[in-house]
Structure 1
């Protein structure tokens, strides 16, 4: 039993490391796009000056529309007050939008938290990945992920809701059955382990065609 437990812990630790690396790559890619857009800023200004000099106002309007669409793909969607949370949330929101998933997010988090950035990264990343996985199975007009994060007295409250294919998910123990591979299961176990270590609370509920995870993490 001890060997089995150590083997599972080793696999979970390996998956956690891989997950964090993936998240940082996503964040780095997002900021690389932003830096690229800023680098091109002078060229954009010069182009619009040329159109203005020839009084081609329609061309300026078309160019501004193109720039607006381009910037939307890299613009920071959420500002929570916590830089690391901003990075993870925005990278995942960008990923969701690339899969035609609507994200409704409302998040307010203090600059400093008792919970470590790595723990928060694992929790948010896993929750978002699970919600995206479930959403892509639905018709595009039904793909919605709702995210809410805020302080409730001395606890950080995290809520993720996504629509499912209509069937109520089967619960096995404290977890709901996963349709994904091994890594997905370790992700769920990792979330539970972090919440337990931080003396937090987690609730999962599947009903009415929606799946909701709620988490409370003490911050004192």
Structure 2
């Protein structure tokens, strides 16, 4: 193994560790919000009981509206059937919403995966981060990320599509030329390394106004 190859492997290892830590913090923050809301649940009930005793129905309606708005910020939007996928998807959806990016997700994992959940976390996290980054270059009303996940026979199928600014990007090998810096490029390499190690398939397609990544990961 040459010097440059070792250097790249070291960079990837550091990047992977930083990425996992970032994802962990995002997921932990989301569940801290949920736990906080549950902790306050009894207080909310007591408050509404007091309003009901006073027959202050307008106050109850207003209080319920506030609770509904608060709960929406921590709601579990996607339920795939896989806890790791749920955690990373919902934390990233929350992050996208905070940046005024619309996310349309249809994700279902009806079987127990054979592949590592850490690998799944890295793939989904990188795909989502890249889609969010690209979306921020667009006006708010055009920021949309579409996600689809399901089993196709014995393979897990993952598809991410985001709208992009500008024209079709040029492809260099299996990757498209990136102007987003080293972190973005390492993320793409990391995805490719995982898919290759799992004997999977990856396809990237850039068209005017949209970028799609499709991945198949065998589960047998």
Q: Smaller-chain TM-score range? A: over 0.9
- Give the distance between the partners of 1:111 and 1:70, measured in 2 at CA: 33
Contact 1:200 1:215 in 2 (8 A): yes
Per-residue CA deviations over 1:29-69 (Å, capped at 9, x if unaligned) read 10000000000001111111111111111111111111001
Structure 1: 5+ residue runs without aligned partners?
A: none
Aligned residue number for residue 41 of structure 2: 41
- Give the distance between the partners of 1:140 and 1:60, measured in 2 at CA: 34
Aligned length: 220
3-state secondary structure, aligned to 2:81: coil
Aligned residue number for residue 188 of structure 1: 188
Aligned residue number for residue 132 of structure 1: 132
Return the TM-score normalized by structure 1: 0.98
Aligned residue number for residue 169 of structure 2: 169
Matched, 1:6 2:1: no
3-state secondary structure, aligned to 2:109: coil
Matches within 5 A, 1:12-27: 12-27=12-27
- Give the distance between the partners of 1:208 and 1:153, measured in 2 at CA: 31
- Give the distance between the partners of 2:110 and 2:36, measured in 1 at CA: 30
3-state secondary structure, aligned to 2:89: helix
Structure 1 vs Structure 2 CA RMSD: 1.0
- Give the distance between the partners of 2:145 and 2:92, measured in 1 at CA: 11
Structure 2: 5+ residue runs without aligned partners?
A: none
Per-residue CA deviations over 1:60-117 (Å, capped at 9, x if unaligned) read 1111111001001111111100000000000000000001111000011135211101
Aligned residue number for residue 66 of structure 1: 66
3-state secondary structure, aligned to 1:169: coil
Matches within 5 A, 1:191-202: 191-202=191-202
Contact 1:83 1:111 in 2 (8 A): no
Aligned residue number for residue 143 of structure 1: 143
- Give the distance between the partners of 1:184 and 1:78, measured in 2 at CA: 26
3-state secondary structure, aligned to 1:63: helix
Residue 179 of structure 1: CA displacement? Answer: 2.3
Structure 1 97/161 Cα, relative in aligned 2: closer, same or farther at 3 Å? same
Residue 10 of structure 1: CA displacement? Answer: 0.7
Matches within 5 A, 1:85-124: 85-124=85-124
- Give the distance between the partners of 2:48 and 2:122, measured in 1 at CA: 44
3-state secondary structure, aligned to 2:100: coil
Runs of 4+ more than 3 Å apart? none
- Give the distance between the partners of 2:50 and 2:137, measured in 1 at CA: 47
